[in-house]
Amino acid sequence: MVRTRWRFKFLLEAVIALPLVLPPTVLGFYLLIALGPHGPLGRLMESLGGRPLAFTFTGLVIGSVIYSMPFVIQPLQNAFATVGRRPLEVAATLRASPLDRFFTIAVPLARHGFLTAVVLGFAHTVGEFGVVLMIGGNIPGETQVLSIAIYDHVEGLEYVHAHWLSGGLLLASFLMLMVVYAIDRRFRSFQT
């Protein structure tokens, strides 16, 4: 993603960064639906002879990876961006293949980003959801936040209300990130 000039790169960046602004319960709710017995991934697992991934350790790992994705990918992107083109161009003149240039030049020069990515990804996964609930509690009208309201609706099997709140937060979060990345892309194109 660092070197691509794809016109709609900002859309992919917004999708990857969505967990930064999306409440964990929105992502968790949609993962529960997708991984559950009636969801697409749950049905796929059942057709392959397994069981749905909701309420399993594997499902938890999948959710954690998706939830922490921006905290891993963005530091890696920044690290690879700092490598620059020159070392890769020099390696190309020495007939190094693109794969060889990546593993022998780019990865070692960006190694600091891997450590940052691992630490941030782990810390983000460990500190999610429970912190808000422990600090703010769940007092309606005082400390109840939308993510906890979604949890309450799911717990009460009120999926219509959960869909409305989750969908609204999902859309608002995605639109905000899309605008930010589109503006950033436009700003960078004016600088060059």
Mean pLDDT over 36-56 rounds to 88
pLDDT digits (tens, 9 = 90+) for 3-14: 777 888 889 989
Answer yes or no: is pLDDT of 147 > 50: yes
Residue 64: what residue type? S
Answer yes or no: is pLDDT of 188 > 60: no
The full 3-state SS of the chain, as one line of letters, equals: CCCCCCCCHHHHHHHHHHHHHCCHHHHHHHHHHHHCCCCHHHHHHHHCCCCCCCCCHHHHHHHHHHHHHHHHHHHHHHHHHHHCCHHHHHHHHCCCCHHHHHHHHHHHHCHHHHHHHHHHHHHHHHCCCHHHHHHHCCCCCCCCCHHHHHHHHHHCCCHHHHHHHHHHHHHHHHHHHHHHHHHHHHHHHHHC
Top pLDDT among 36 and 57 is at 36
Hunting for tokens 């409305």 — which residue is that? Answer: 164
Which pLDDT does position 183 carry in this prediction?
Answer: 67
Q: How many residues does the chain have?
A: 192
Q: What is the pTM of this model?
A: 0.65
Top pLDDT among 188 and 140 is at 140
The Cβ of residue 90 has, within 10 Å, a number of other Cβ atoms equal to: 12
The first and second tokens of residue 61, run together, are 């790992």
pLDDT digits (tens, 9 = 90+) for 53-109: 877 777 777 887 888 889 899 889 988 998 888 999 999 999 999 999 999 999 998
